Structure 1
Amino acid sequence: MTACSKENEIDRCCVRQQQRGSGQVHLRQSVMADPWQSVMDHAVAVARKAGEMIREALQSEVSIMHKSSSVDLVTKTDQQVEQFIFTSIREKFPSHSFIGEESVAAGQPCVLTDNPTWIIDPVDGTTNFVHGFPFVAVSIGFVVKKQPEFGVVYSCVEDKMYSGRKGKGAYCNGLPLQVSDQTDISQSIITCEMGSNRDPEVVDKIFSSMRKILCIPVHGLRSAGTAATNMSLVASGVVEAYFEIGVHCWDIAAGAVIVTEAGGVMMDVDGGPFDLMSRRVLAANNKTIAARLVKEIDVFPAKRDDAPEEESQ
Structure 2
Amino acid sequence: MPETLPTTDAAVSDAYLLGQTAVAVREAGAALLERFGEVVRYDSRDELMRALAANDETALGILRPHLTSLRPGAGWVEDELAGGALPPGEWWVVDPAEGNVNHLHGLPDWAVTATLVRDNQPVLTAVHLPLTGETYTALTGAGAHLDGLPLEVSPRTDLGLSLVATSQARPDEDETVVRRVGSSITAMLHDALVVRTSVPATLHLLDVAAGRIDAFWQFAGARADLLPGALLVTEAGGQISDAEGHPWTPQSESFLAAAPGVHAQAVATLSR
How does the TM-score come out when normalised to structure 1? 0.75
Alpha-carbon separation, structure 2, partners of 1:110 and 1:41 = 27
Show the counterpart of 1:205.
180
Identity %: 26
Give a deviation string over 1:127-183, Cα, whole Å, max 9, x none: 211111111011111111221111111122222111111111111111110000001
203-212 or 134-143: bigger deviation? 203-212
Aligned equivalent of 1:293, options 246, 266, 269: 266
Between the aligned partners of 1:289 and 1:263, the Cα distance in structure 2 is 13
* Aligned partner letter, 1:211: T
Shift, 1:114, TM fit:
2.3
1:177 maps onto 2:151 in alignment? yes
Point out the more displaced range, 133-142 or 195-204: 195-204
Q: CA deviation at 1:200?
A: 5.0
User: Alpha-carbon deviations, 1:184-232, whole Å to 9, x = none?
Assistant: 000100010133235555333212111111111x221113411111111
Out of 69, 74, 77, which is 2:55 matched to?
A: 77
Higher relative contact order, chain-length normalized (CA < 8 Å, sep 6+) = 2
State the distance in 2 between where 1:135 and 1:121 align.
14
What do the CA deviations read for 1:262-281 (whole angstroms, capped 9, x no partner)? 00011111211010233521
Root mean square deviation, CA, Å:
2.7
Structure-1 separation of matches of 2:123 and 2:146: 17
**What is the aligned length?**
261
CA distance in 2, matches of 1:233, 1:190: 10
Q: CA deviation at 1:52?
A: 0.5
Within 5 Å, which residues of 2 pair with 1:256-271?
A: 256-271=230-245
Between the aligned partners of 2:85 and 2:129, the Cα distance in structure 1 is 27
Q: Decide which of 29, 48, 52 is 1:51's aligned counterpart.
A: 29
Which structure 2 segments of 5+ residues have no match? 1-8
Is 1:215 matched with 2:193?
no
Please give the alpha-carbon distance, in whole angstroms, between the structure 2 residues aligned to 1:92 and 1:63. 37
1:37 to 15, 21, 25: 15
State the distance in 1 between where 2:209 and 2:18 align: 19
Which residue does 1:162 correspond to in 2? Answer: 136
Q: CA deviation digits over 1:43-97, x for unaligned, max 9?
A: 1000100110111111366476858xx89x8331113212421122223321111
Q: 2:180 & 2:134 partners in 1: Cα distance? A: 33
SS of 2:270's equivalent in the other structure is coil
Moved more, 135-144 or 189-198: 189-198
Aligned in 2, Cα 1:245/1:83: closer, same or farther, shift over 3 Å?
Answer: farther
Q: 2:206 aligns to what SS in structure 1? A: helix
From the two aligned structures, give the one with the greater helix fraction. Answer: 1
* 1:101, distance to aligned residue in structure 2 (A): 3.4
Distance (Å, rounded) in 1 between the aligned partners of 2:184 and 2:84: 29
Question: TM-score scaled to structure 2, two decimals?
Answer: 0.86
Give me the whole-angstrom Cα distance separating, in 2, the residues matched to 1:222 and 1:251: 17
- 1:296 is paired with a residue whose SS is helix
Distance change (3 Å), C-alpha of 1:264 and 1:110? closer
- Cα 1:131–1:242, aligned 2, differ >3 Å: closer, same or farther? same
Aligned amino acid, residue 186 of structure 1: G
The question of 1:118 aligning with 2:92 is answered: yes
Does structure 1 residue 98 correspond to structure 2 residue 76?
yes
Q: Which has the larger radius of gyration?
A: 1
Query: Residues 157, 277 of structure 1: CA spacing in aligned structure 2 closer, same or farther, 3 A cutoff?
Result: farther
The aligned residue for residue 166 of structure 2 is: 192
> What's the CA shift for 1:295?
2.3
Name the SS of the counterpart of 2:65 in structure 1.
helix
Relative distance call for 1:147 and 1:204 in structure 2 (3 A) is: closer
The one-letter code matched in structure 2 to 1:214 is L
Instruction: Return the letter of the residue paired with 1:289.
Output: V
